[in-house]
Structure formats: C-alpha cells, structure tokens
C-alpha cells in the first residue's frame, strides 16, 4: 500500500502539484465547509466583484453540513455530500484561489479543466463513514451565513482527516481510470 501523504492547510500550488489521483492524504489544519446555498451566495458576490465573507486563497472546502455534536465531540456525523451540485460555482472560486474541494461523486469536465488551469484538486471522502470522519474534526465554528443553519460556512480544525485524490491538477480522474481498469 502506498504511503499516506500528510498535508497541512492552507495549501500551496507546490503542495497541489505533487498530488496524483489515487494518493491517500491526511489533512491537518483548518478547512472550510460549504454546500449549495453558501456556494450560491459566494458565487453571486464574486460575480459582482464584491468581497467574500471568507478568504478562500489556499483553502480547501468540504462539501458537508455536519450534524449536531454529541457530548464530547466537535461535530456530529460529517459525511460528504454530492459534489456535482457545486460544479456551477467551483471554477470561479478556484480562479479566486480555492485549492481543494472534498466531497463524493464525479465532477464536470468544466470543473476538471479549472483544476488544471488554477492548480486545484478534488478529494473524495468516504460516503457512509460520517461518524468515523467526524472523529478527525477537533473543533468547529461558524464563520459565515449563520442563517443557513446546517449549510452555514464553518471552519473545521481537522487532524489526519482521511481523503483520496479523485481529480488532480494534471488532469487525472480516478473515476475514469477506475472504470478503464475494471472494464472487460
């Protein structure tokens, strides 16, 4: 089995360019959360040339709306949501400096092309393992759009948060490669 890559956030172009599809990565540091409603708001502000309520340069956004925390935990189950719903917004956010996205499922051709152009990466988190993933989240705070409830933008402090590189900045696509490998 390949060695796990340890990556601290925020990330740089150099960090991103070292990653290849299939790499197992452990993230430590702060990552952001955001889903459909938050992405729509960020996109609308960016299109108008207005400032965002968060700094996305070098950041990673996890497509999640974590459940309420049980006593002793920072968050409740925190599994990834389907990433394709953020595809209309992702290229502009990458242009503004977003370096990584975490979710589940395939990304559109336009998003994959933007990853190459803006040196960004898409990580896949294991769906169905929400309670296990939550154990790697050490702290959480809402930093924007509190009115969105579960979909508010949060800052998560993570330690050895497990992800797999599904799309890299070189044009690699783990989903396509997997299909080719097992097609008969």
Residues belonging to the active site? 39
d(Cα 171, Cα 149) in Å, to the nearest integer?
35
Phi first, then psi: what are they for 31, rounded to 5°?
-130, 160
CA distance 167 to 136: 23
**C-alpha dist (Å) from residue 79 to 19, 90, 132, 161, 164:** 23, 20, 9, 12, 14
Instruction: Please choose, from the candidates 162, 165, 161, the residue with its C-alpha nearest in 3D space to the C-alpha of residue 175.
Output: 165
DSSP code per residue over 55-75: --TT-EEE---PPPPPTT-SS
Q: How far apart are the first and last CA of the chain?
A: 25
Q: Is 74 left (phi over 0), alpha (psi -120 to 50) or beta?
A: alpha
Token pair recorded at residue 174? 């783990």
């Amino acid at each position: 089995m390949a060695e796990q890559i340890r990556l601290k956030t925020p990330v740089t172009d150099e960090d991103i360019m070292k990653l290849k599809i299939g790499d197992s990565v452990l993230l430590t540091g702060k990552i952001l959360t955001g889903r459909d409603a938050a992405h729509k708001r960020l996109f609308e502000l960016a299109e108008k040339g207005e400032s965002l309520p968060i700094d996305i340069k070098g950041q990673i956004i996890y497509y999640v709306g974590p459940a309420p925390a049980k006593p002793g935990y920072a968050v409740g189950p925190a599994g990834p949501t389907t990433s394709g719903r953020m595809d209309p917004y992702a290229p502009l956010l990458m242009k503004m400096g977003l370096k990584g996205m975490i979710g589940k499922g395939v990304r559109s051709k336009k998003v994959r092309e933007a990853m190459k152009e803006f040196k960004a990466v898409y990580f896949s988190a294991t769906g169905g393992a929400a309670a296990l993933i939550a154990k790697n989240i050490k702290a959480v705070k809402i930093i924007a759009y509190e009115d969105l409830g579960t979909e508010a933008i949060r800052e998560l402090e993570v330690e050895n948060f497990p992800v797999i590189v599904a799309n890299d900045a070189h044009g690699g696509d783990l989903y396509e490669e997997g299909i080719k490998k097992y097609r008969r």
